[in-house]
Homo-oligomer: A and B are copies of this chain.
Amino acid sequence: MGITIKKIASELKLAVSTVSKALAGSHEISPETRQRVVEYARSVDYIPNAYASSLRKRTTGNIGVVLPEVADSFFSDAINGIESVARQKGYHVIIYLTHDDQQKEQAILNDFRSGRVDGVLMSVSLGDGSHTHIEEMAAQKPLVFFDRAWQDVTAARVLTDDVESGYNATHHLLEKGCRRIGFLSVHKNLNIIQQRLQGYKNALADHGRPVRDEDIIDCTHPDTNYDTLKTLLTNPNPPDGLVCSVESLTLLAYRVCHALNLAIPNAVRVVGFSNLGIAALLNPPLTTITQPAFAMGQAAATLLFNALERRTKADVPELKILPSVLHERASTQ
């Protein structure tokens, strides 16, 4: 087995506690001893056992990041933001993927209670399930939601200005002359979707347009979304504008339009939430609502470390809202 503190101690004829303190850079230990220990440890390539240390200290030096997937450009950017601050704090980032499955999400959060992480950053999975597993976890460890959050769980959150973003996207289409605008939504109980939808409705109202229920398309089920969109766009009076509330739906809309030979933007204008670096390379270049993913990751991680360092809960959960940006491109020209 590897080198342990005990071996170092016996080799150097010191007590294990002395070695432990020396390695931790304690000022209780004389500079000479400290240096002797540190040098010897390096020479034998001593690596402390992280789990033994965690067990004793009752902290892990890990933060857990729970997300639906990693293929979405928002999430991959956000991870980088999270990592940038975690690295600075000397923490490890452990990524857990739920694949938007609440069962898996539940299993993961349960597992956190076994003491693998000190705190959790999370963007919730779609679904109608209860949120008690989240609440139970949040009762034990600091939790910060980013982007996708549940209202009924008390926790800090980092969001974008979703109402405004939805408003801007819709307003933009109306300005371009769209007469009938479809809103592609996923799970309606998800807050960010409700907000984006609210923005959509507000914009229609401000332009004196009615909100029509049949223009709000539920695309919650990946398997049927393609057909749903196809039906929508081939009906006698199809929308001439589309607000896509998440990246996957944006790309799906493109796919369907391509398949149907529907010209974007002539037949239908498309604006979608997306952080794709290649939005400009799509056919046609895609007008996007781009969220500050990296900054959101940073902000969420910062909030979490604040909580970790306080070791006491803020009585009123913190909320941070960062603005998204509309990038106009050919898909809405």
Contacts and interface: CB of A to CB of B under 8 A. Distances in A.
Interface of A: 2, 47-52, 54-55, 60, 69-71, 73, 76-77, 79-80, 83, 92, 94-95, 97, 99, 110-111, 113-116, 251, 254-255, 258, 277-278, 280-285
A51 B47 contact: no
Q: By DSSP majority rule, is chain A's interface helix, strand, loop, or mixed?
A: mixed
A14 B73 CA distance: 53
Nearest to A254: B281
Contact of A51 (B54, B83, B95, B258): B54
Most buried by B among A48, A60, A116: A116
Contacts of A277: 251
Nearest to A283: B283
Contacts of A278: 251, 254, 278, 282
Contact of A115 (B49, B70, B73, B83): B49
Contacts of A80: 97, 99
A70 B297 CA distance: 15
Contacts of A49: 55, 114-115
Contacts of A55: 49, 51-52, 55
B282 A113 contact: no
List the 10 closest A-B pairs by CB distance, nearest first.
A283-B283, A50-B114, A51-B51, A71-B76, A95-B95, A47-B113, A51-B54, A51-B55, A70-B76, A254-B281
A281 B248 CA distance: 13
A281 B282 contact: yes
A59 to B, nearest CB: 11
Contacts of A280: 255, 258
